[in-house]
């Protein structure tokens, strides 16, 4: 059960990494194009900020459902892990100042 949860979290973080890398590549390309056009300073920053907003909206429109499905699956697996762990009588050792106790 834990390996399924770890796999789902790995997929979510991997997909997030791909989105962030794509945004960074587009930002560097846009910065070089704006510099080539002679746009510098604050106006370049404002244009790049608007581009970033558009890229965020586009990435959620493209990947939003996949993120939602992966998160829902991860939370379902975690819920099942908690419920079946509780029903099976599995105890989690916790370190306390008085010593180790089971929850």
pLDDT in tens, 62-74: 777 777 777 677 7
CA distance 93 to 82: 15
pLDDT on residue 90: 54
Q: Residue 15: which residues within 8 A CB-CB, separation 6 or more?
A: 63, 66, 67, 70
pTM assigned to the model: 0.56
* 78 close to 12: Cβ distance less than 8 angstroms: no
């Amino acid at each position: 059960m834990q390996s399924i949860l770890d796999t789902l979290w790995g997929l979510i973080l991997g997909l997030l990494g791909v989105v962030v890398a794509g945004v960074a590549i587009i930002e560097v390309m846009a910065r070089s194009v704006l510099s080539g056009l002679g746009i510098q300073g604050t106006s370049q920053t404002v244009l790049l900020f608007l581009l970033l907003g558009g890229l965020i909206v586009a990435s959620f429109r493209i990947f939003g459902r996949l993120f939602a499905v992966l998160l829902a699956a991860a939370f379902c697996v975690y819920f099942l892990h908690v419920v079946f762990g509780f029903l099976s009588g599995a105890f989690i050792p916790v370190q306390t100042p008085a010593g180790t106790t089971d929850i």
